[in-house]
Structure 1
Protein backbone atom coordinates (compact mmCIF):
# COMPACT_ATOMS: atom_id res chain seq x y z
CA UNK A 1 0.00 0.00 0.00
CA UNK A 2 2.44 2.61 1.19
CA UNK A 3 4.83 1.86 -1.67
CA UNK A 4 2.61 3.83 -4.02
CA UNK A 5 2.95 6.84 -1.71
CA UNK A 6 6.70 6.39 -1.48
CA UNK A 7 7.15 6.05 -5.23
CA UNK A 8 5.02 9.16 -5.86
CA UNK A 9 7.28 11.04 -3.46
CA UNK A 10 10.38 9.67 -5.16
CA UNK A 11 9.08 11.31 -8.35
CA UNK A 12 9.48 14.56 -6.40
CA UNK A 13 12.97 13.47 -5.19
CA UNK A 14 11.66 13.05 -1.64
CA UNK A 15 12.74 10.01 0.32
CA UNK A 16 11.16 9.47 3.73
CA UNK A 17 12.90 8.10 6.80
CA UNK A 18 11.11 5.39 8.83
CA UNK A 19 10.21 8.03 11.41
CA UNK A 20 8.67 10.28 8.76
CA UNK A 21 6.65 7.35 7.35
CA UNK A 22 5.28 6.69 10.83
CA UNK A 23 4.37 10.36 11.21
CA UNK A 24 2.40 10.37 7.97
CA UNK A 25 0.67 7.15 9.02
CA UNK A 26 -0.34 8.66 12.37
CA UNK A 27 -1.43 11.90 10.69
CA UNK A 28 -3.67 9.84 8.40
CA UNK A 29 -5.18 7.99 11.38
CA UNK A 30 -5.90 11.22 13.28
CA UNK A 31 -7.38 12.85 10.18
CA UNK A 32 -9.85 10.02 9.57
CA UNK A 33 -10.63 9.68 13.30
CA UNK A 34 -11.45 13.38 13.78
CA UNK A 35 -13.23 13.51 10.43
CA UNK A 36 -15.97 11.31 11.85
CA UNK A 37 -17.05 14.10 14.21
CA UNK A 38 -16.14 17.21 12.20
CA UNK A 39 -15.73 18.03 8.56
CA UNK A 40 -11.99 18.14 7.83
CA UNK A 41 -11.88 16.49 4.41
CA UNK A 42 -14.14 14.79 1.90
CA UNK A 43 -11.23 12.44 1.11
CA UNK A 44 -10.64 9.63 3.61
CA UNK A 45 -9.46 6.62 1.59
CA UNK A 46 -5.80 5.84 2.39
CA UNK A 47 -4.27 6.12 -1.10
CA UNK A 48 -6.35 9.17 -1.90
CA UNK A 49 -5.31 11.04 1.24
CA UNK A 50 -1.69 10.24 0.45
CA UNK A 51 -2.08 11.45 -3.11
CA UNK A 52 -4.46 14.40 -2.89
CA UNK A 53 -3.29 15.80 0.42
CA UNK A 54 0.23 14.60 1.28
CA UNK A 55 1.84 14.30 -2.18
CA UNK A 56 -0.06 17.34 -3.39
CA UNK A 57 1.18 19.45 -0.45
CA UNK A 58 4.78 18.39 -1.05
CA UNK A 59 4.72 18.87 -4.82
CA UNK A 60 5.55 22.54 -4.16
CA UNK A 61 9.18 21.39 -4.47
CA UNK A 62 8.60 21.69 -8.23
CA UNK A 63 8.25 25.45 -7.79
CA UNK A 64 10.75 26.34 -5.04
CA UNK A 65 13.87 25.02 -3.30
CA UNK A 66 12.63 24.44 0.26
CA UNK A 67 16.20 24.10 1.56
CA UNK A 68 16.58 27.87 1.06
CA UNK A 69 13.46 28.65 3.10
CA UNK A 70 13.45 29.09 6.88
CA UNK A 71 10.00 30.47 7.73
CA UNK A 72 6.63 29.51 6.25
CA UNK A 73 3.07 30.60 6.96
CA UNK A 74 0.15 28.55 5.66
CA UNK A 75 -3.00 30.66 5.25
CA UNK A 76 -6.36 28.88 5.54
CA UNK A 77 -4.57 25.65 6.35
CA UNK A 78 -7.74 23.64 7.09
CA UNK A 79 -6.62 20.16 8.16
CA UNK A 80 -2.98 21.23 7.88
CA UNK A 81 -2.30 21.23 4.14
CA UNK A 82 0.28 22.02 2.92
CA UNK A 83 1.99 23.21 6.13
CA UNK A 84 2.07 19.97 8.16
CA UNK A 85 3.41 17.67 5.40
CA UNK A 86 6.10 20.30 4.70
CA UNK A 87 7.07 20.35 8.37
CA UNK A 88 7.24 16.53 8.57
CA UNK A 89 9.57 16.30 5.56
CA UNK A 90 11.56 19.50 6.22
CA UNK A 91 12.03 19.74 10.00
CA UNK A 92 14.29 22.82 9.65
CA UNK A 93 11.27 24.97 8.74
CA UNK A 94 9.60 27.25 11.25
CA UNK A 95 5.93 26.80 10.30
CA UNK A 96 2.86 28.85 11.24
CA UNK A 97 -0.58 27.40 10.45
CA UNK A 98 -3.47 29.86 10.34
CA UNK A 99 -7.13 28.94 10.22
CA UNK A 100 -10.34 30.78 11.06
CA UNK A 101 -12.10 27.77 12.60
CA UNK A 102 -11.23 26.93 16.18
CA UNK A 103 -12.24 23.25 15.87
CA UNK A 104 -9.72 22.80 13.08
CA UNK A 105 -7.02 24.53 15.13
CA UNK A 106 -7.68 22.06 17.97
CA UNK A 107 -7.21 19.21 15.51
CA UNK A 108 -3.93 20.74 14.27
CA UNK A 109 -2.68 21.08 17.85
CA UNK A 110 -3.46 17.41 18.48
CA UNK A 111 -1.51 16.35 15.38
CA UNK A 112 1.45 18.55 16.36
CA UNK A 113 1.47 17.03 19.84
CA UNK A 114 1.05 13.41 18.71
CA UNK A 115 3.73 13.73 16.03
CA UNK A 116 6.03 15.55 18.49
CA UNK A 117 6.66 18.36 16.00
CA UNK A 118 8.65 21.34 17.22
CA UNK A 119 9.08 24.91 16.00
CA UNK A 120 5.53 25.04 14.64
CA UNK A 121 2.62 27.19 15.83
CA UNK A 122 -1.08 27.49 15.13
CA UNK A 123 -3.11 30.70 14.91
CA UNK A 124 -6.88 30.87 15.22
CA UNK A 125 -8.32 33.87 13.41
CA UNK A 126 -8.66 35.66 10.13
CA UNK A 127 -5.80 36.31 7.75
CA UNK A 128 -6.74 40.00 7.52
CA UNK A 129 -6.33 40.48 11.29
CA UNK A 130 -3.01 38.72 11.88
CA UNK A 131 -1.47 40.46 8.85
CA UNK A 132 -1.72 43.73 10.79
CA UNK A 133 0.25 42.42 13.75
CA UNK A 134 3.95 43.27 13.80
CA UNK A 135 4.86 39.72 14.88
CA UNK A 136 3.56 38.35 11.58
CA UNK A 137 3.52 41.16 9.04
CA UNK A 138 6.33 40.90 6.46
CA UNK A 139 8.10 38.26 8.54
CA UNK A 140 8.06 35.14 6.32
CA UNK A 141 10.28 33.79 3.54
CA UNK A 142 7.35 31.88 2.10
CA UNK A 143 3.56 32.05 2.33
CA UNK A 144 1.57 29.12 0.96
CA UNK A 145 -2.15 28.56 0.52
CA UNK A 146 -4.29 25.74 -0.82
CA UNK A 147 -7.38 27.74 0.15
CA UNK A 148 -10.15 28.02 -2.41
CA UNK A 149 -10.38 31.71 -3.28
CA UNK A 150 -9.57 33.75 -6.35
CA UNK A 151 -5.99 34.90 -6.74
CA UNK A 152 -6.78 38.60 -6.12
CA UNK A 153 -8.36 37.76 -2.76
CA UNK A 154 -5.61 35.29 -1.84
CA UNK A 155 -2.94 37.84 -2.72
CA UNK A 156 -4.47 40.33 -0.29
CA UNK A 157 -4.55 37.65 2.42
CA UNK A 158 -1.03 36.39 1.80
CA UNK A 159 1.35 39.01 0.37
CA UNK A 160 1.33 41.16 3.56
CA UNK A 161 2.90 38.24 5.47
CA UNK A 162 6.00 37.85 3.31
CA UNK A 163 9.12 39.91 3.67
CA UNK A 164 10.44 41.87 0.71
CA UNK A 165 12.29 39.27 -1.37
CA UNK A 166 10.01 36.53 -0.06
CA UNK A 167 7.63 34.38 -2.09
CA UNK A 168 3.91 33.64 -2.05
CA UNK A 169 2.91 30.39 -3.77
CA UNK A 170 -0.72 29.62 -4.46
CA UNK A 171 -1.79 26.02 -5.13
CA UNK A 172 -4.24 26.09 -8.04
CA UNK A 173 -5.79 23.41 -10.18
CA UNK A 174 -5.56 23.19 -13.93
CA UNK A 175 -6.34 26.17 -16.09
CA UNK A 176 -5.76 29.52 -14.40
CA UNK A 177 -4.91 31.97 -17.22
CA UNK A 178 -8.01 34.11 -16.73
CA UNK A 179 -7.66 34.22 -12.96
CA UNK A 180 -3.98 35.07 -13.28
CA UNK A 181 -4.78 37.93 -15.63
CA UNK A 182 -7.50 39.28 -13.29
CA UNK A 183 -5.14 39.26 -10.29
CA UNK A 184 -2.36 41.39 -11.78
CA UNK A 185 -3.63 44.72 -10.42
CA UNK A 186 -3.99 43.32 -6.88
CA UNK A 187 -0.55 41.69 -6.96
CA UNK A 188 1.09 44.95 -8.05
CA UNK A 189 -0.80 47.10 -5.50
CA UNK A 190 0.23 44.76 -2.70
CA UNK A 191 3.93 44.99 -3.60
CA UNK A 192 4.22 41.72 -5.50
CA UNK A 193 5.26 40.61 -8.96
CA UNK A 194 3.97 37.46 -10.62
CA UNK A 195 6.83 35.21 -11.64
CA UNK A 196 6.55 31.83 -13.30
CA UNK A 197 3.58 29.50 -13.10
CA UNK A 198 4.62 25.86 -12.79
CA UNK A 199 2.14 23.42 -14.33
CA UNK A 200 2.33 19.67 -13.94
CA UNK A 201 0.37 16.53 -13.14
CA UNK A 202 0.49 14.99 -9.70
CA UNK A 203 2.86 11.98 -9.91
CA UNK A 204 1.04 8.90 -11.19
CA UNK A 205 -2.30 10.71 -11.63
CA UNK A 206 -4.37 12.67 -14.15
CA UNK A 207 -4.70 15.57 -11.70
CA UNK A 208 -3.49 18.87 -13.18
CA UNK A 209 -1.84 21.34 -10.83
CA UNK A 210 -0.55 24.90 -11.18
CA UNK A 211 1.71 26.74 -8.78
CA UNK A 212 1.57 30.50 -9.10
CA UNK A 213 4.74 32.11 -7.76
CA UNK A 214 4.55 35.73 -6.66
CA UNK A 215 7.67 37.50 -5.47
CA UNK A 216 7.45 40.43 -3.08
CA UNK A 217 9.41 43.35 -4.49
CA UNK A 218 8.29 46.16 -2.17
CA UNK A 219 6.63 46.60 1.22
CA UNK A 220 2.84 46.30 1.30
CA UNK A 221 1.06 49.61 1.89
CA UNK A 222 -0.32 49.92 5.43
CA UNK A 223 -3.94 50.01 4.27
CA UNK A 224 -3.70 46.38 3.09
CA UNK A 225 -5.17 43.97 3.87
CA UNK A 226 -8.48 45.78 4.15
CA UNK A 227 -10.77 44.91 7.05
CA UNK A 228 -11.99 41.33 7.52
CA UNK A 229 -14.40 40.18 4.84
CA UNK A 230 -13.61 42.83 2.22
CA UNK A 231 -10.89 40.97 0.26
CA UNK A 232 -13.35 38.17 -0.55
CA UNK A 233 -16.43 40.39 -1.05
CA UNK A 234 -14.68 43.04 -3.11
CA UNK A 235 -11.42 41.72 -4.59
CA UNK A 236 -9.02 44.31 -6.03
CA UNK A 237 -9.62 43.98 -9.78
Structure 2
Protein backbone atom coordinates (compact mmCIF):
# COMPACT_ATOMS: atom_id res chain seq x y z
CA UNK A 1 0.00 0.00 0.00
CA UNK A 2 1.14 3.52 -0.65
CA UNK A 3 2.84 4.78 2.50
CA UNK A 4 0.87 7.94 1.91
CA UNK A 5 -2.38 6.28 2.99
CA UNK A 6 -0.80 4.66 6.02
CA UNK A 7 0.78 7.97 7.01
CA UNK A 8 -2.59 9.67 7.30
CA UNK A 9 -4.60 6.64 8.42
CA UNK A 10 -2.28 4.64 10.70
CA UNK A 11 -5.06 2.58 12.32
CA UNK A 12 -6.05 0.64 9.19
CA UNK A 13 -6.45 -3.10 9.69
CA UNK A 14 -4.17 -5.49 7.85
CA UNK A 15 -7.09 -6.47 5.63
CA UNK A 16 -7.76 -2.84 4.71
CA UNK A 17 -4.07 -2.33 3.99
CA UNK A 18 -4.10 -5.28 1.61
CA UNK A 19 -7.20 -3.91 -0.12
CA UNK A 20 -5.59 -0.51 -0.61
CA UNK A 21 -2.36 -2.18 -1.74
CA UNK A 22 -4.22 -4.08 -4.46
CA UNK A 23 -5.73 -0.98 -6.05
CA UNK A 24 -2.70 0.15 -8.03
CA UNK A 25 -2.21 -3.01 -10.07
CA UNK A 26 -5.95 -3.43 -10.58
CA UNK A 27 -6.49 0.12 -11.79
CA UNK A 28 -3.40 -0.03 -13.98
CA UNK A 29 -4.64 -3.24 -15.59
CA UNK A 30 -8.22 -2.07 -16.11
CA UNK A 31 -7.22 1.43 -17.15
CA UNK A 32 -5.26 -0.03 -20.05
CA UNK A 33 -8.55 -1.50 -21.35
CA UNK A 34 -11.08 1.14 -20.30
CA UNK A 35 -9.86 4.64 -19.56
CA UNK A 36 -11.25 5.73 -16.18
CA UNK A 37 -8.17 7.65 -15.00
CA UNK A 38 -5.95 9.83 -17.16
CA UNK A 39 -3.15 7.49 -18.27
CA UNK A 40 -0.49 9.99 -17.29
CA UNK A 41 -2.13 10.20 -13.86
CA UNK A 42 -2.19 6.49 -12.98
CA UNK A 43 1.13 6.75 -11.12
CA UNK A 44 -0.51 9.34 -8.88
CA UNK A 45 -3.39 7.00 -8.05
CA UNK A 46 -2.89 7.08 -4.29
CA UNK A 47 -2.40 10.84 -4.01
CA UNK A 48 -4.83 12.18 -6.60
CA UNK A 49 -7.60 9.63 -6.25
CA UNK A 50 -7.41 7.42 -3.15
CA UNK A 51 -6.21 9.95 -0.58
CA UNK A 52 -8.37 12.64 -2.15
CA UNK A 53 -11.41 10.37 -1.71
CA UNK A 54 -10.45 9.63 1.89
CA UNK A 55 -10.60 13.30 2.84
CA UNK A 56 -14.28 12.53 3.49
CA UNK A 57 -13.16 10.06 6.18
CA UNK A 58 -11.19 12.87 7.81
CA UNK A 59 -14.30 15.03 7.86
CA UNK A 60 -16.79 12.50 9.22
CA UNK A 61 -16.69 9.03 10.72
CA UNK A 62 -19.84 7.35 9.43
CA UNK A 63 -21.59 5.04 11.88
CA UNK A 64 -22.40 1.46 10.93
CA UNK A 65 -25.37 0.90 8.62
CA UNK A 66 -25.12 4.41 7.17
CA UNK A 67 -26.23 4.39 3.53
CA UNK A 68 -24.26 6.44 1.01
CA UNK A 69 -24.75 7.08 -2.69
CA UNK A 70 -21.70 8.03 -4.77
CA UNK A 71 -23.01 10.02 -7.73
CA UNK A 72 -20.94 9.90 -10.92
CA UNK A 73 -18.49 7.48 -9.37
CA UNK A 74 -16.55 6.96 -12.62
CA UNK A 75 -13.96 4.32 -11.85
CA UNK A 76 -15.05 4.16 -8.22
CA UNK A 77 -14.05 7.43 -6.55
CA UNK A 78 -14.70 8.36 -3.83
CA UNK A 79 -16.84 5.26 -3.26
CA UNK A 80 -14.31 2.42 -3.34
CA UNK A 81 -11.73 3.97 -0.98
CA UNK A 82 -14.55 4.94 1.39
CA UNK A 83 -16.05 1.45 1.23
CA UNK A 84 -12.67 -0.02 2.20
CA UNK A 85 -12.35 2.45 5.06
CA UNK A 86 -15.93 2.00 6.33
CA UNK A 87 -16.74 -1.73 5.95
CA UNK A 88 -19.92 -1.40 8.07
CA UNK A 89 -21.37 1.29 5.79
CA UNK A 90 -23.46 0.51 2.71
CA UNK A 91 -22.54 2.18 -0.59
CA UNK A 92 -24.30 2.57 -3.92
CA UNK A 93 -21.90 3.61 -6.69
CA UNK A 94 -23.82 5.13 -9.58
CA UNK A 95 -22.70 6.30 -13.00
CA UNK A 96 -24.43 6.82 -16.33
CA UNK A 97 -21.47 5.34 -18.25
CA UNK A 98 -21.64 1.56 -18.22
CA UNK A 99 -17.99 0.81 -18.93
CA UNK A 100 -16.90 2.90 -15.94
CA UNK A 101 -19.30 1.04 -13.66
CA UNK A 102 -17.88 -2.23 -15.03
CA UNK A 103 -14.36 -1.22 -13.98
CA UNK A 104 -15.48 -0.13 -10.51
CA UNK A 105 -17.50 -3.32 -10.07
CA UNK A 106 -14.66 -5.59 -11.19
CA UNK A 107 -12.17 -3.88 -8.88
CA UNK A 108 -14.61 -4.03 -5.98
CA UNK A 109 -15.06 -7.77 -6.53
CA UNK A 110 -11.32 -8.34 -6.87
CA UNK A 111 -10.58 -6.82 -3.46
CA UNK A 112 -13.54 -8.55 -1.82
CA UNK A 113 -15.73 -5.60 -0.93
CA UNK A 114 -19.01 -6.80 0.57
CA UNK A 115 -20.65 -3.44 1.23
CA UNK A 116 -20.97 -2.00 -2.27
CA UNK A 117 -23.53 -2.23 -5.04
CA UNK A 118 -23.49 -0.60 -8.45
CA UNK A 119 -26.00 1.10 -10.71
CA UNK A 120 -25.57 1.96 -14.38
CA UNK A 121 -28.08 4.76 -14.34
CA UNK A 122 -28.67 8.48 -14.14
CA UNK A 123 -29.17 9.87 -10.66
CA UNK A 124 -32.45 11.45 -11.73
CA UNK A 125 -33.89 7.93 -12.01
CA UNK A 126 -32.69 6.73 -8.61
CA UNK A 127 -35.57 6.65 -6.12
CA UNK A 128 -33.98 5.13 -3.01
CA UNK A 129 -32.99 7.23 -0.01
CA UNK A 130 -29.58 7.55 1.62
CA UNK A 131 -28.03 9.27 4.59
CA UNK A 132 -25.42 11.01 2.48
CA UNK A 133 -24.71 11.69 -1.16
CA UNK A 134 -21.02 11.98 -2.04
CA UNK A 135 -19.41 13.02 -5.30
CA UNK A 136 -16.17 14.23 -6.76
CA UNK A 137 -16.50 17.25 -9.07
CA UNK A 138 -19.34 15.68 -11.05
CA UNK A 139 -21.64 18.69 -11.34
CA UNK A 140 -22.18 22.09 -9.78
CA UNK A 141 -23.50 22.16 -6.22
CA UNK A 142 -26.88 23.69 -7.22
CA UNK A 143 -27.33 20.96 -9.83
CA UNK A 144 -26.28 18.26 -7.38
CA UNK A 145 -28.79 19.53 -4.83
CA UNK A 146 -31.53 19.68 -7.43
CA UNK A 147 -30.99 16.10 -8.59
CA UNK A 148 -30.24 14.39 -5.26
CA UNK A 149 -32.15 16.10 -2.45
CA UNK A 150 -35.01 13.67 -3.12
CA UNK A 151 -32.59 10.88 -2.18
CA UNK A 152 -31.59 12.25 1.24
CA UNK A 153 -33.30 10.48 4.13
CA UNK A 154 -35.00 12.54 6.83
CA UNK A 155 -33.87 10.04 9.49
CA UNK A 156 -30.49 11.07 10.90
CA UNK A 157 -28.07 8.69 12.63
CA UNK A 158 -24.64 10.32 12.32
CA UNK A 159 -22.95 13.11 14.26
CA UNK A 160 -23.72 15.46 11.37
CA UNK A 161 -27.13 15.86 9.73
CA UNK A 162 -27.69 13.95 6.50
CA UNK A 163 -26.71 15.79 3.36
CA UNK A 164 -24.32 16.18 0.46
CA UNK A 165 -20.54 15.90 0.72
CA UNK A 166 -18.59 16.71 -2.42
CA UNK A 167 -14.96 17.21 -3.33
CA UNK A 168 -14.20 20.22 -5.49
CA UNK A 169 -11.36 22.40 -6.69
CA UNK A 170 -10.88 26.03 -7.60
CA UNK A 171 -12.96 29.08 -6.76
CA UNK A 172 -16.31 28.03 -5.32
CA UNK A 173 -17.67 31.50 -4.55
CA UNK A 174 -20.37 31.53 -7.22
CA UNK A 175 -21.28 27.87 -6.78
CA UNK A 176 -21.93 28.02 -3.04
CA UNK A 177 -23.61 31.43 -3.05
CA UNK A 178 -27.21 30.05 -2.99
CA UNK A 179 -26.33 28.09 0.17
CA UNK A 180 -24.18 30.66 1.99
CA UNK A 181 -25.89 30.26 5.37
CA UNK A 182 -25.79 26.46 5.42
CA UNK A 183 -22.80 25.24 3.44
CA UNK A 184 -19.46 24.34 5.02
CA UNK A 185 -16.29 24.55 2.90
CA UNK A 186 -13.12 22.96 4.24
CA UNK A 187 -9.73 23.34 2.51
CA UNK A 188 -8.17 19.90 2.16
CA UNK A 189 -4.90 21.36 3.41
CA UNK A 190 -6.65 21.10 6.79
CA UNK A 191 -6.06 17.35 6.54
CA UNK A 192 -3.18 16.82 4.10
CA UNK A 193 0.17 18.54 3.56
CA UNK A 194 0.81 17.78 -0.12
CA UNK A 195 0.74 20.72 -2.59
CA UNK A 196 -1.84 18.85 -4.71
CA UNK A 197 -4.47 19.71 -2.09
CA UNK A 198 -3.83 23.46 -2.03
CA UNK A 199 -6.70 24.18 -4.43
CA UNK A 200 -8.99 21.37 -3.25
CA UNK A 201 -11.97 21.62 -0.91
CA UNK A 202 -14.56 19.47 0.80
CA UNK A 203 -18.05 20.94 0.61
CA UNK A 204 -20.73 19.80 3.05
CA UNK A 205 -24.36 20.85 2.72
CA UNK A 206 -26.86 19.48 5.23
CA UNK A 207 -30.27 18.67 3.77
CA UNK A 208 -32.87 19.05 6.50
CA UNK A 209 -36.38 17.96 5.64
Q: Same fold (TM over 0.5)?
A: yes
Q: CA deviation at 1:119?
A: 2.7
Indicate yes or no: 2:107 matched with 1:111: yes
Indicate yes or no: 2:11 matched with 1:15: yes
Q: Relative to structure 1, is the Cα distance of residues 158 and 147 closer, same or farther in structure 2, using a 3 angstrom cutoff?
A: farther
Contact 2:73 2:93 in 1 (8 A): yes
- In structure 1, runs of 5+ residues without a counterpart are 186-192, 219-237
**Count of aligned positions:** 198
Contact 1:63 1:213 in 2 (8 A): no
Q: CA RMSD in A?
A: 2.1
Contact 1:23 1:88 in 2 (8 A): yes
Q: CA deviation at 1:151?
A: 1.3
* Distance in 2 (alpha carbons) for counterparts of 1:6 and 1:174: 27
Give the equivalent residue in structure 1 for 2:192.
Answer: 203
- In structure 2, runs of 5+ residues without a counterpart are 157-161
Give the equivalent residue in structure 1 for 2:179.
Answer: 184
TM-score normalised over the length of structure 2: 0.86
SS at match of 1:65: coil
Indicate yes or no: 2:159 matched with 1:163: no
SS at match of 2:99: helix
Q: Relative to structure 1, is the Cα distance of residues 65 and 149 closer, same or farther in structure 2, using a 3 angstrom cutoff?
A: same
SS at match of 2:84: helix
Matches within 5 A, 1:211-226: 211-218=202-209
Runs of 4+ off more than 3 Å: none
Contact 2:133 2:152 in 1 (8 A): yes
Which of 165, 168, 173 is residue 172 of structure 1 equivalent to? 168
